[in-house]
C-alpha cells in the first residue's frame, strides 16, 4: 500500500467526524429551541399563578377588613398578615425570575456550543476537501509520470 493511498484512506475516514459535529449542532439547536419554549411557557404559567395568588391575598385582606372594621387589633393583625403574604409572593416572583434568567442563559450556552460545533464541522469539511484535492493532484501527477501501456 502506498503512502498516497494510506493518506487518502485517512482523509476519507476523517469525514465522519465533521458530519457528526454538524449533526450534533443541529440536535443542540433543536434542544435549545425546545428548552426555550418550555422555559418561556413555564414562566408565563408561573406569572399567571402568582397574579392569581396575589389577587386572592388582596381579596382575603379586603374581606377580613370588612368583617373586622371596628376591631383595631384585628385590623392591625390582618394588615401585618397582608404585608407578609405579599412579601412571600414578591419573594417567589424574584426566585422564579432568577431561575428564568438562569434557564435562558443555559439555552444561550447550548446555542453557543452548537455554533462552535457547526463551525468546527464546517472547518473540518473544508480541511478534508483541501486535503482530498491535494491528494488527488499528487495521484494525478504520479499517473502522468507513469509510462503509457
- Tell me the domains of the chain and their CATH numbers: 3-145 (1.10.287)
Over residues 55-77, the pLDDT tens digits come to 999 999 999 999 999 999 999 99
Q: What is the distance, to the nearest Å, from the Cα of residue 95 to the centroid of all Cα atoms in its chain?
A: 20
pLDDT of residue 149: 56
The pTM for the full model equals 0.66
- Which residue pairs, CB below 8 angstroms and at least 24 apart, start in 77-83? 82/57, 82/58
pLDDT of residue 6: 40
- Find where cell 449542532 sits: 25
Sign of the C-alpha dihedral computed for residues 9, 10, 11 and 12 taken in this order: positive
Cβ–Cβ < 8 Å for 149, 42: no
What is the average pLDDT across 116-141? 81
* Distance, CA of 40 to CA of 32 (rounded, Å): 12
* Sequence-separated (6 or more) residues with CB below 8 Å from residue 7: 131, 135
Over residues 26-54, the pLDDT tens digits come to 999 999 999 999 999 999 999 999 999 99
Cβ–Cβ < 8 Å for 19, 124: no
pLDDT of residue 132: 77
Amino acid at each position: 500500500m502506498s503512502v498516497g493511498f494510506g493518506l487518502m484512506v485517512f482523509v476519507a475516514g476523517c469525514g465522519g467526524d465533521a458530519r457528526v459535529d454538524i449533526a450534533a449542532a443541529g440536535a443542540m439547536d433543536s434542544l435549545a429551541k425546545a428548552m426555550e419554549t418550555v422555559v418561556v411557557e413555564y414562566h408565563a404559567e408561573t406569572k399567571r399563578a402568582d397574579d392569581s395568588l396575589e389577587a386572592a391575598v388582596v381579596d382575603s385582606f379586603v374581606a377580613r377588613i370588612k368583617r373586622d372594621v371596628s376591631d383595631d387589633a384585628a385590623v392591625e393583625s390582618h394588615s401585618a398578615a397582608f404585608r407578609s403574604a405579599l412579601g412571600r409572593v414578591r419573594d417567589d416572583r424574584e426566585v422564579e425570575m432568577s431561575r428564568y434568567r438562569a434557564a435562558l442563559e443555559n439555552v444561550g450556552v447550548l446555542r453557543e456550543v452548537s455554533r462552535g460545533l457547526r463551525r468546527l464541522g464546517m472547518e473540518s469539511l473544508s480541511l478534508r476537501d483541501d486535503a482530498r484535492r491535494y491528494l488527488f493532484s499528487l495521484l494525478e501527477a504520479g499517473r502522468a509520470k507513469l509510462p503509457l501501456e
